[in-house]
Amino acid sequence: MNATRKLISRATAAVAAALLTGGLTGLAAAPASAEPKDTTLNHTCTFPLIGGQPVPATFHTDLPSQILLHQQAHASLGVSVTLPGTVATALRLQHATSVNVSVSADMAVRSPEGEVPLSEDGGGVKPLDSDGEPLTVSFSPQVLLPAFTKTGDGSIVVTGLHLSLDAKKADGSSVWPGGKDVACTRPLGADSTIARFTIIGDVPPLTPRHFALKGSSSIKAANGTLPLDGTLDALVSPVSPGEVQADLALKPATAELSLLGFLPAKADVVLSPVGKTTGTLAGGVLTSTSKVLIKLPSVSVFGIQVGGGDSCQTSQPAEITLKSTQPGFDPAKGGPIAGTYALSALENCGDHTSFINYFVAGDGNTIDANLSA
């Protein structure tokens, strides 16, 4: 890779970033935010011996669709470049057995206040198959976007792709001492945008959402199932990642149990939420946490009541964390959710409390439900 070109690119990026409030302060190992997207840009790269060859470069971007003023957002900018099999075949004819492929992707972060250059580098050593298989090089840097000072639309655009090949023979010597730089081009006027976002000034208010909740819970220790029917009245942030607050209400239900795998039993169950349901909506995934006190007004075996009562309940609220199970949860529509939880020991359930606990308390209980708007 041409060292002078890389130094100039990085120096230019540093100066431009300094002109923006907050600047590109460096790399950050942050979790992916929202709106993941794959964009493939087709290039023509001119290789030694064989000339121009098609080289697709796929860019995986993961960043929020909306970014607040004066706040830096994390972004993942994955790059995957595939060299055609003809490259491997040509290198084999030069007695090469491996090749070190270096990739440099030049990008620009564009916003109403200007443009900030950004260069991402990666690569790897690839063995050369006699069959001439394509060679793929991938890397996934994490970056911080600038702290923008003006509202409006923004984007990330690929402005250039550069390759360098250092082919090695079996004895470790280079086919070309110092390697070979490979120039890549895109069709004139082709759109090279890989991500778009909007810079907003104020945090939008939480949006009210009403969901009907239907599903079931599997109670592991009792080998039983509890139907779930209720509502979730939520306030959801329209900015991703954003906050979720909700009030959960569940109807009383009867759990059908099979004690020891063959004794039929039933338990009347009242689910009493403790406090608010809280959570987040980020990257198209809804995550919620509720604390629920489980009460058993009646427990019967073979139709004979063996316990329960107005004060029969778990000693601690169950903490239930649920996540959406399909990509791209839409708060305007809802979708399936699932999770696991543990039940603490029961108390005040009568003379047979310890017996009932044996078949109720424990972890490994599951919930599968659906939220419908």
pLDDT digits (tens, 9 = 90+) for 182-199: 999 999 999 999 999 999
Given 180, 200, 220, the domain boundary residue is 200
CA dist 222 → 229, 260, 372 (Å): 20, 8, 29
Furthest C-alpha separation in the chain: 88
Q: Judge if 150 and 233 occupy the same domain.
A: no
224 within 8 A of 260, measured Cβ to Cβ? no
Instruction: Calculate mean pLDDT across residues 277-300.
Output: 91
Answer yes or no: do 368 and 245 share one domain. yes
**Tens digit of pLDDT for each residue in 71-107?**
888 888 999 999 999 999 999 999 999 999 999 999 9
Are 150 and 254 within one domain?
no
Task: Name the DSSP letter for residue 78.
Answer: E
Higher pLDDT, 130 or 373: 373
Give residue 6's pLDDT. 34
DSSP one-letter code for 330: B
Q: What is the pLDDT of residue 207?
A: 86
Structure tokens at 251: 């109807």
CA–CA gap between residue 198 and residue 161 (Å, rounded): 26
Are residues 148 and 240 part of one domain?
Answer: no
9: confidence class by pLDDT, cuts 50, 70, 90: very low
Torsion angle defined by CA atoms of residues 60, 65, 69 and 72, in that order, rounded to the nearest 10 degrees: -30
pLDDT at 358: 86
Q: Pick from 2-16, 203-217, 307-321, 349-363 the range whose average pLDDT is largest.
A: 307-321
CA distance 220 to 223: 5
d(CA 217, CA 84): 52
Domain that holds residue 136: 3-200
* Pick from 33-37, 42-46, 128-132, 278-282: least confident: 33-37
Query: Residue 62's closest CA among 283, 331, 324, 241?
Result: 283
Q: What separation in angstroms does the CA of 271 have from each of 177, 205, 227, 317, 366?
A: 73, 30, 11, 10, 15
Q: Which residues contact 330 (CB under 8 A, 6 or more apart)?
A: none
Let me know whether 148 and 44 are in one domain. yes
